[in-house]
Structure 1
Amino acid sequence: MRAPVVSLLALAASPLVLAAQPATPKAASSTPPTLSAPKPLTLPTMIERRLPNGLRLVVVEQRELPVVDAQLVINTGSVADPTGKEGLATLTANMLDEGAGSRDALALAEEIAYLAIRLSTGASLEQSTVALHSTRSTLDSAMQLMADVVLRPTFPEKEFTRLRSERLTALLQEQDRGPAMADRAFAAIVYGESHPYGRSSAGVRSSVETMSRADVQSFWKSWYRPNNATLVLVGDVTVAEAVTLATRAFGGWERAVLPAVPAARVAAKNATTAIHIVDKPKAAQSSFRLGGIGAARSTADYYPLMVMNTALGGSFTSRLNNTLREVKAYTYGAGSSFSLRRNAGPFTARAEVVSAKTDSALIEFMKELNGIRKPLPPSELAKVKRYLQLGYADGFESTSDIASQIANLVPYNLPLSTLGAFNAGIGRVTSADVQRVAARYVTPGALTIVIAGDRASIEPALKATKIAPVDVRDMYGRPVIVP
């Protein structure tokens, strides 16, 4: 017998169904949650050792899980790129895992998969890094593989040709990307093309085209030395085990005298503000970069700078993001940062803004840059300090996080105690400190302003603001003669 068909209308009218309807939800609260006081942060013990060949070892025992993260930091990056070979440091780092020891690129990938580990290589301005994540049971084999990549890369010609071709393609693609155009032009104008900070770590087409496999070998041979390196090991390993593992993998690594890096002259700071347009015809948005030369990582102003920048543009609730995104709806996001390097890195405020609001956005940027120079209200100062202190512990959640935090100290020769001093340092910052560093590093009357966008539509409006003289540059910061 067929089961009776139940009408959907009948079900809808059923008292049982009606009784199951959810209650009306309560209205959302418009009052933000109150930030609690930061709890004491106890960081894991960090132990230093040094191998006879000069390799520095930093070990952190974290025995909760049977995993270990290792980071080998070479104290050299693209600042050491020879003139005319810009991009060499990053290409060298990318080549390390394309063949090493007795394995080609495919065999390396298969071994990594077999061991169920992660191995990555890379380089930035002031360091090159090889990172490893492994279980404790495979750590010995994983470290031997890591050592092959660092000490015995083969730099196969075929893989070099492929990676160089991919780099050239990426550089070509940058020419159609407003944010990349603005980044390159801003750095070059602030520092000058001859300064390492004025160039991209990826290089330029002419430098990459002239690179050879021999250039890569030479860079590796010169800079990848144990007396120029730090090995960080964090996880389920004792100090004694770490020393044994490091000695077995890297004890035969030969030290050498390191080449000298020529000192680079920094372009003089702006005496006045100037607006530089990088033309991207028919662009739907304008890429803003405003700023100038900031501070080095070793600055005594580090903590006040962190507080000041967080208030200005270093968090989602910062002044720049609130004004340009939440209030004006000119952009999906705006912010600012200090790139703290061995020498004074740049201060940059940035946003990608709908093209029709380019002039309006610039006016708001200038208002906020001027406003941060005034005393920070006590409530805002307290909120920003609490935001930084409460969020700091997030950087130590995993073995990988801890290894990265330690590795980030290496290029600047900062003591390990730096990590434990953060919350107290932020706590000591006063409103007067913030106003002092804002007056020193945020200078609305002497800014480099780069805007990559549709010149035909944005130039007249930018000139009408009368904020600063306007000229046109290419994406490498060079002046463009226009009719």
Structure 2
Amino acid sequence: MSLKLLALAGVATAALVAPVGAQVAKPAPVATLVTSVDIPYQQFTLKNGLRVIVHTDRKAPVVAVSVWYDVGSKHEPQGRTGFAHLFEHLMFNGSENAPGDFFAPLKEVGATDFNGTTSFDRTNYFETVPAAALERALFLESDRMGHLTGAITQGVLDEQRGVVQNEKRQGDNQPYGLVQYKLFGGLFPADTPYGHTPIGSMADLDRASLADVKDWFRSHYGPNNAVLVLAGDVDAATAKPLVEKYFGDIKTGPKSVLPTVTVPTLAAPVNEVMKDRVAAVMITKNWAVPGMLDPDAAALDVGGTVLGGLASSRLDNALVRKEKLAVNVSAGYSDMAQIGMFTIRAIVRPGVDPAVVSKRLDEILADFLKTGPTADEIQRVQTQAVAGRIRGYESVGGFGGKAVALAGGALYANDPGRYKKELAAIAAQTPASVKAAATRWLTRPAYTLTVVDGERDKYEEAVVPPAVAVKPAAETPVKGTRAGGIPAVGTLTGLAFPAVERARLSNGIELVYARRDAVPITQAVLSFDAGYAADVADKLGTQQLTLSVMDEGTRTLDGIALAEARERLGASIGTGTSLDRTTLSMSVPSANLTPAVALFADIARNPAFADEEVGRVRNQQLAGIQQELTSPQGLGNRVIGKLINGDTPYGKAMGGGDPKAVAALTRADLIAFQQAWLRPDKAKIFVVSDRPLAEVRAVLDRGFGDWTAQGPAGVKSFPTTRTPLTPKIVLVDRPNSPQSLILAGQRTGLKGSDDMLVFNTANDALGGSFLSRINMDLREEKHWSYGAGGRFQTAAFDAPYGISAGVQADKTGPSITALQQDVTQFVTTKPMTQTEFGLAIDGGIRALPGSFETSGAVLGAMQQNDLLKRPDDYYATITRRYGALTLPQLNTAIAGVIDVKKFTWVVVGDAKTVKPQLDSLGLPVEVVSAASVAGLPVVPVTPLAAKAK
């Protein structure tokens, strides 16, 4: 390994310590890590064809229930695009024997990680429930599998069609939001299974009739077309009679026919340009390649990661670090069941000729195809891949846990244990095998798309049609016939939150530790009393730039060597910021704990802040700010945060910062911030590990125990009185947006160290959950939004209340009126009901075991408890706290702090469409341009010489 020594001129002596030797220690072999990945299972099949897989994991009293159907967008015929995804939504709207929203009976039992997704290849539904509620979950899943069509009325169809169309608008409304349509349309013929995206077209969704969707269900959602996985505190002997009881009488249905798919090859290279509201040009080069079951899949995956998936990837090192032609690059292999896509992407640094970047992408790829990867590159990819699987498989369910691994293997490859073969295939890759696969597929003609700034061309999906009124039901829902109804819940096992222990390193840094041994991973957070509140008032963005450059080189390791060292260890090391805290975090297989901590300490204690890196990363941050100002959420957050918190240090939270200030930042500014705030006397270390406290402390002490602070520490100052707010609406004009983002905020006089359990539990019914009044009104009843909600935004010294909703543009004004009515009624005439109170209390208590199933969740709770001055056993005793709450107490509390007349509103949308709607709401409306949000016109990116070969 080549180490580049970085210049240290101007660094205070106190910042320097002896090199910690992270580069010397050898990581554990990949084979050792692979052996720790194991998900034993049993399986059986019912007479009706339902395949059931059971994995036992007793670490928490929860069970993940995952149902995967062999139906996705690839099964949709022409004119029926979006049907699989539409039906995913319809299956959450209740069934014949469980009418009403599917989430209600799940929330009552404290389900966590419950959702559904649709891909090209499958539709899945999943929830993690307390073990005592498994029977209820099986009843609900079986009822929507076997008893659904009678519950689907015209009103239900219209409602969920509107929700899906607003989900599509929400995605389309983002910068680069239309790229996916161009990519799939450019690579795959429209009349082939992968020729359209799962979201479908507005026109096809509008044409869907009640008969159409019922026929679609009958054709695809039978038990013989599904896989059921149960993972967690359950075994096959317990599961089999329950599954037989609830699924056994469902009739066999048609089996999905696997469509014929061949990998298309373009006749010649295709180069297209599209316009979008973007701050930087994006170039993406794409190839259709084989899918996940092909022998070349693992080689393409490894090759893509070497090329553009590592922090030290070929593209990153060349185009971002050395030549400074791009601010972000990536490459990778996306594997679908029958086909795949290989993509190379670059975000061009503003001021650089995109043609130069495109040429360099081709040259770097050509060199990769000529020489192939090195053995060291492959080893780093393998280690990162295995470490990622270990982390992911700590969870039994959700989007990526053990149930997902088993279900995917069963559905796609008829092998629940396929995850082992995938890891083995990655571990078996060599430079020759990767080079051969890449040459086989990436020497074919590519589809290149360049996205430039400009007015979007008109497209069908961007046209906002008149809202479809919910028609009276064309038929009466079928009454359920299953005896017994929804099962009751058995005796629940409470949360066993791990004991939290405290110790100190030799220099007094406090160590807050909890032991979890479900996976051989250690997670650590070095937390500093800083955060956005510590950013430099007249140089906003200093903190972010400081953190970004710290990760780009230490006194002994330059940025490339640093990234390579992390990858060899399978370590994930990153930075983060909240309003109150600045963090450096680390997650690593515990077998590599000692060298990883040495590297972690080197980053924290010895950042080089090399002038070249400061200049490069500063340009990246400026480009990020410019992109932030093209995003609805980025624009809205800047405005609402300044309005609500502008007279406190929390008002400094402005995304990437002030572009004018960032452009002027120097190396000395970053060193000054680090020395004032990121220092041992402002630090605590939080750790969750399978290793004992004594061992963890000893390792950390070697890395941090002799670290001493020098010079004056930074100080935060919060005002004792605040300037009153004048309610108004600020409209940020974002022309031609198909959807408006509505944000609202109000000061409450609360702070995070208050008893927020009272207020958060009350808010569960107003805006804090899927079943909240705000979400059910705008999404489920009016179907103007894909999702809406409100919450107390808890910080150490403040807790304002905020609301967020993305709504279709033509319903912006009515949506604000609806939100005002929802909030007003909740705190006056229609407070929280006894039913809502029961859901909030019972759901909150019962969700605790699932909420803290993973080490990451425990680690987050430990930090939050410390920040808000809660006892370390807060969650171990929270059931008693919930039990002491009363309905009158909650209603009185929330009514005393929320007043819709004090709300300040921010709307990001198309002023020509939206302003007439806002003018009738009785509040002053101030229209501002997106450019004015950050005091623009945009500051030009600092020139840097671009080196092109």
Q: What's the TM-score once normalised by structure 2's chain length? A: 0.46
1:437-448 aligned within 5 A: 437-448=893-904
User: Cα distance, 1:112 vs. partner?
Assistant: 1.2
Aligned to 2:586, what secondary structure does the other structure show? strand
The structural deviation recorded for 1:21 is: 10
Taking structure 1 as reference, are residues 412 and 157 closer, same or farther at Cα in structure 2, changes over 3 Å only?
Answer: farther
Other-structure match for 1:472: 927
Contact preservation (8 Å) 2:747, 2:801: yes
Give the conservation status (yes or no) of the 8 Å contact 1:95–1:160.
yes
1:335 equivalent in structure 2: 789
CA separation in 1, counterparts of 2:563 and 2:863?
25
Does 1:428 find its partner at 2:911? no
Greater Cα offset, 86-95 or 329-338? 86-95
Match of 1:223 among 674, 677, 694: 677
Amino acid corresponding to residue 862 of structure 2 in structure 1: I
Map of 1:125 onto structure 2: 579
Q: Provide the residue aligned with 2:843 in structure 1.
A: 387
Residue 217 (structure 2) pairs with residue 149 (structure 1): no
Paired letter, 2:585: A
Provide runs of 4+ in structure 1 moved above 6 Å. 19-22, 476-479
Query: Which whole-Å CA distance do the structure 1 matches of 2:603 and 2:505 have between them?
Result: 19
Give the match for residue 179 of structure 1: 633
Q: Does 1:233 align with 2:687?
A: yes
Change in Cα spacing, 1:469 to 1:253, as seen in structure 2 (3 Å) is same
Relative distance call for 1:89 and 1:376 in structure 2 (3 A) is same
Residue number in structure 2 paired with 1:364: 818
Once the two structures are superposed, the pairs formed by residues 17-32 of structure 1 within 5 Å of their partners are 28-31=96-99
Question: Contact 1:90–1:124 (CA<8 Å) still a contact in 2?
Answer: no
Letter paired with 2:819: F
Q: Which residue of 2 aligns with 1:5?
A: none
Alignment of 1:277-296 (within 5 A): 277-294=731-748, 295-296=750-751
- Corresponding residue for 1:12? none
Corresponding residue number in structure 2 for 1:313: 767
Q: CA deviation at 1:449?
A: 1.3
Deviation at 1:357, TM superposition (A): 0.4
Cα distance per residue 1:70-123 (max 9 Å; x no partner): 111112112111222111112212222211241111111111111122211222
Preserved CA contact (<8 Å) 1:190 1:269: no
**2:211 corresponds to which residue?**
none
User: 2:150 aligns to what?
Assistant: none
Q: For 1:171, give the aligned amino acid.
A: I
Shift of 1:137: 1.9
CA contact (8 A) 1:290 1:350 kept: yes
Q: Deviations over 1:249-290 (max 9, x none)?
A: 1111103452322435764333x6422222222222211111
**Amino acid aligned to 1:291:** G
Amino acid in structure 2 at the alignment position of 1:299: D
Matches of 2:884 and 2:95, distance apart in 1:
39
Matching residue within 624, 644, 650 for 1:196: 650
Give CA deviations for 1:189-211 in whole Å, capped at 9, x if unaligned. 22226743354142111121111
Aligned 8 A contact 1:288 1:353 in 2 = yes
- RMSD, aligned CA: 2.6
The alignment partner of 1:441 has SS state of coil
Identify if the C-alpha distance between structure 1 residues 233 and 27 changes in structure 2 by more than 3 Å, giving closer, same or farther.
Answer: closer
Between the aligned residues of both structures, percent identity stands at 25
Going from structure 1 to structure 2, the CA distance change for 1:370 and 1:194 (only over 3 Å counts) comes to: closer
Q: Is the 8 A contact 2:647 2:723 kept in 1?
A: no
DSSP-derived class of the 1:98 partner = coil
Equivalent residue runs for 1:82-121 within 5 Å: 82-121=536-575
Higher relative contact order (CA 8 A, sep 6+): 1
Q: In 1, distance between residues paired with 2:524 and 2:702?
A: 15
SS at match of 2:496: coil
SS at match of 1:419: coil
Q: Distance in 2 between matches of 1:172 and 1:123?
A: 20
Counterpart-to-counterpart distance in 1, 2:842 and 2:549: 43
Contact conserved, 1:78 with 1:201, CA < 8 A, in 2? no
Count matched residues.
455
Deviations 1:408-460 (A, max 9, x none): 33433433122323332233222222222222221112211111222222222
Q: In the alignment, is the contact (CA less than 8 A) between 1:191 and 1:266 conserved in 2? A: no
CA contact (8 A) 2:677 2:713 kept: yes
Report the more deviating stretch, 308-317 or 390-399: 390-399
Q: What is residue 454 of structure 1 aligned with on the other side?
A: 910
Query: Cα gap change, 1:109/1:246 in structure 2, threshold over 3 Å: closer, same or farther?
Result: same
Match of 2:618 among 160, 164, 168: 164
Q: Is the 8 A contact 1:280 1:453 kept in 2?
A: yes
Cα distance in 1, alignment partners of residues 48 and 717 from structure 2: 76
Which whole-Å deviations, capped at 9, do the CAs of 1:59-80 have from their partners, x for residues lacking one? 2222343321111111211211
The change in CA–CA distance for 1:43 and 1:288 in structure 2 (over 3 A counts) is: same
- Tell me how far 1:230 sits from its aligned partner: 1.0
Q: TM-score, normalised by structure 1?
A: 0.87
Q: Which runs of 5+ in 1 are unaligned?
A: 1-18
Deviation larger for 185-194 or 453-462: 185-194
Tell whether 2:329 aligns with 1:261.
Answer: no
Q: What is the letter of the counterpart of residue 63 of structure 1?
A: D
Determine the structure 1 residue equivalent to 2:403: none
Q: Which amino acid aligns with 1:269?
A: P
The answer to whether the 8 Å contact 1:67/1:134 transfers is yes
C-alpha spacing 1:225/1:88, structure 2 compared with 1 (3 Å): same
Query: Which 5+ residue runs of structure 2 have no aligned equivalent?
Result: 1-46, 51-93, 110-488, 936-949
Over 3 Å counting, the alpha-carbon distance change for 1:27 and 1:440 in structure 2 is: closer
Give yes or no for contact 1:273–1:444 (8 Å, CA) kept in 2. no
CA distance in 1, matches of 2:578, 2:655: 6
Please tell me whether residue 412 in structure 1 is matched to residue 480 in structure 2: no
- 1:398 and 2:398 are equivalent in the alignment: no
Supply the distance in 2 between the matched residues of 1:136 and 1:443 (Cα, whole angstroms). Answer: 50
Cα distance in 1 between the residues matched to 2:652 and 2:582: 19
8 Å contact from structure 1 (residues 89, 219) kept in 2? yes
Describe the shift of the 1:21–1:229 C-alpha distance in structure 2 as closer, same or farther (beyond 3 A). Answer: closer
Provide Cα deviations, 1:158-197, integer angstroms capped at 9, x if missing partner.
2222221111112112222222222111111222267433
Q: Note closer, same or farther for the CA distance 1:469–1:143 as it changes in structure 2 (3 Å cut).
A: same
